[in-house]
Structure 1
Amino acid sequence: MRRPTAGPVLILAAATLWGTTGTAASFAPDDASALSIGAATMGVGGLLTLALAGRSAFGVLRGGPAVLRRALFGALGVVVYPLAFYTAMAWAGVAVGTVVSLGCAPVFAALLERVLDGTRLTRSWLAATGSAAFGCALLVLSGHGSAAGGGRVTGGVALGVLASAGYAAYAYSGARLIRCGHSSRAVMGALFGLGATVLLPLFAVTGGALLGEPRGLAVAAYLAVIPMWLAYVLFGTGLARVRASAATTLSLFEPVVAAALGVAVVGERLTGAAWAGVGLVVLGLLVLMARRPGVRSPVGGIHQGR
């Protein structure tokens, strides 16, 4: 029998790996652009995901006009997300860039589900997301010690919001395609394979500095294989068990990991208020995963009728 917590645990495992991306990217050569890092991560990683899916990914794309439109919408999110995300971290710092990029994603995912599916969110989901979102706000507003952005924090925050919209788009599209009967492996292969057709040519144009040093090659390889390919295998499997809005809320564990690594490894500084924000994100995740006896958890996509 399928365990109700399996999906959330897989999403949290993926989020933990994603949380290492900003710290890993900080070891790239100084002249490697954020665009090249983002394109390498999800371009090369997308090819690996497509290879894992094999022919099943092409089966998704042959599912008819409606399925193809949904896949293209998700692939657009795949392209937008890494380019905006890595630039947001470069401009606003690892902790702030990650928090904004993931913190706004549940809002966009809920909006997509509400507008396109008519989904009604439960009060427990709203409470969990509210706690996590307030924690993210504390992290952003409390400041940080990174000077990497060169005073472009506002632009980094704006790009973080754009990245969150891209993330929500492919999470929503992936969840809908999986619920149409396609396997999570096939769906992730189709979305990231399509995204790779745009990201790889961009990487070919911008990736010279990243590929010119062994350190850059190591960073690109790590980002493509671990927080991209492996994490999205976990994410796709978990997405088959939870709603997109719940998945994006669970993914708020990523900025917790990113903030901790940003402080411990990169040397960023977070205030007491920022750490309080981290605590609120964790509290929101615990509320989201909690199940009361006799009540199906909203994480599983079953409305409680309240």
Structure 2
Amino acid sequence: MTVYPTTASSARYGIWAILLASLLWGTTGTVASFAPDVSPLAIGAFAMGFGGLIQALSAKTRLVQEIPRLLQQKQRLLIGAVAITVYPLAFYTSMRLAGVAIGTVISIASAPFATAILECLISKKNTLTQRWMISFGLGITGMALLTYAEPATSQLDESSTLKMTGILLGLIAGCAYAVYSWVAKAMIETGIQSSAAMGSLFGLGAIGLLPTLFFTGNQMFASLSNAMVMIYMAVIPMFLGYFLFGYGLRHINASKATLLTLFEPVVAAVFAVTIVGEVIPYQGWFGMVLIILCLTIQTRESPADKHKLSVKSHQ
């Protein structure tokens, strides 16, 4: 069995891996803007589908080694793969129906809380600490300020029915993200290599995602620009980003990992301003400050964390 000991340095590396993954994910909106004629459903399905295949292929040696343990995790594998299939479809449809701002804030902001609940109810971990709740509150407030400060970009029907449907899909996307993050962490904790855990989950998820491209992907390679966008999305934010995410999950809780991914909208906003040319009002910048404060609280070790790591290192 592979055991990943948690030390102060490994926890720190795990945190930086999650933040780097969030930085890569934060580029997706800006990069996707260079392929405006491609369906957002196709972008999400291709990115996570082919990114998942690359994950599985790159981990094939580990996957073969871990087959006995993976077969013992069939139920978790199925649940995680379904969540990976649901996430991009629900997320991108949420943005289409409710608008980019509302869809993004609901999807990303709901994931940390859902993950913490899963860890408390199923893994029996006391993750809803006062420190976590304070940083969560700061992060959510910052997300709201940043998101609602963005200028309206959607020209879609603003009917309440479409908005409510988009909000519901955003909640589903956030819960799906929380589920596959928790499943990956749970599998890693049983001793499965992180690359094998992520490769098996995303490989199975690709089986559900890629067939949807027959209905949505007719413009993906219609131009060189579109093709470069699709390849970048699959290889960099999805394959490399989730490789880093899997590494981070070796050493920190899934609830903390998903909370750290609130760094993603900050990166996305900075790229939107510097590359796309969008303008963010002052309340949006204040929201970024609150998110950075949230991340600072999470990345600094508390006295309790130091004590736990010290105890583990001497066991």
Mapped partners of 1:135, 1:12: distance in 2:
17
Mapped partners of 1:253, 1:234: distance in 2:
15
Structure-2 residue corresponding to 1:296 = 305
Alignment pair present for 1:17 and 2:17: no
- Of the two, which has the highest radius of gyration? 2
Residue in structure 2 matching 1:260, options 270, 284, 306: 270
- How far residue 83 of structure 1 moved from its aligned partner, in angstroms, is 1.5
Q: Secondary structure at the match of 1:7?
A: helix
> Structure 1 residues 115 and 106 mapped into 2: Cα distance closer, same or farther (>3 Å)?
same
| CA deviation profile, 1:219-271 (whole Å, cap 9, x unmatched) | 11000000000111111111111100000001110011112222333344432
Kept in 1, the 8 Å contact 2:115–2:254? The answer is yes
Task: Kindly report structure 1 stretches of 4+ aligned residues shifted beyond 6 Å.
Answer: none
- For structure 1, which runs of at least 5 residues remain unmatched after alignment? none
Structure-2 residue corresponding to 1:271 = 281
The TM-score with structure 1 as length reference comes to 0.89
Q: One-letter code of the match for 2:132?
A: W
Structure-2 residue corresponding to 1:113 = 119
Mapped partners of 1:165, 1:269: distance in 2:
31
Mapped partners of 1:284, 1:99: distance in 2:
16
Kept in 1, the 8 Å contact 2:23–2:264? The answer is yes
- How far residue 118 of structure 1 moved from its aligned partner, in angstroms, is 2.2
Residue in structure 1 matching 2:254, options 215, 238, 244: 244
Residue in structure 1 matching 2:219, options 185, 202, 209: 209
- How far residue 297 of structure 1 moved from its aligned partner, in angstroms, is 5.6
Alignment pair present for 1:137 and 2:147: no
Q: One-letter code of the match for 2:44?
A: G
Q: One-letter code of the match for 1:295?
A: A
- How far residue 59 of structure 1 moved from its aligned partner, in angstroms, is 5.3
Q: Percent identical across equivalent pairs?
A: 40
Structure-1 residue corresponding to 2:176 = 166
| CA deviation profile, 1:186-233 (whole Å, cap 9, x unmatched) | 000000000011111112332111122222111110000000001111
Aligned residues: 300
Structure-1 residue corresponding to 2:110 = 104
Q: Secondary structure at the match of 1:181?
A: coil
Alignment pair present for 1:79 and 2:85: yes
Structure-2 residue corresponding to 1:125 = 132
Q: Secondary structure at the match of 2:137?
A: helix
Structure-2 residue corresponding to 1:52 = 58
- How far residue 22 of structure 1 moved from its aligned partner, in angstroms, is 1.0
Residue in structure 1 matching 2:241, options 223, 231, 239: 231
Alignment pair present for 1:41 and 2:47: yes
Kept in 1, the 8 Å contact 2:101–2:150? The answer is no
| CA deviation profile, 1:90-141 (whole Å, cap 9, x unmatched) | 4555555433322111011011111212221221122111211121122344
CA RMSD of aligned residues (A): 2.6
Kept in 2, the 8 Å contact 1:22–1:94? The answer is no
> Structure 1 residues 115 and 273 mapped into 2: Cα distance closer, same or farther (>3 Å)?
same
Q: Secondary structure at the match of 2:191?
A: coil
Mapped partners of 2:213, 2:270: distance in 1:
29
Structure-2 residue corresponding to 1:6 = 13
Mapped partners of 1:196, 1:52: distance in 2:
14
- For structure 2, which runs of at least 5 residues remain unmatched after alignment? 1-6
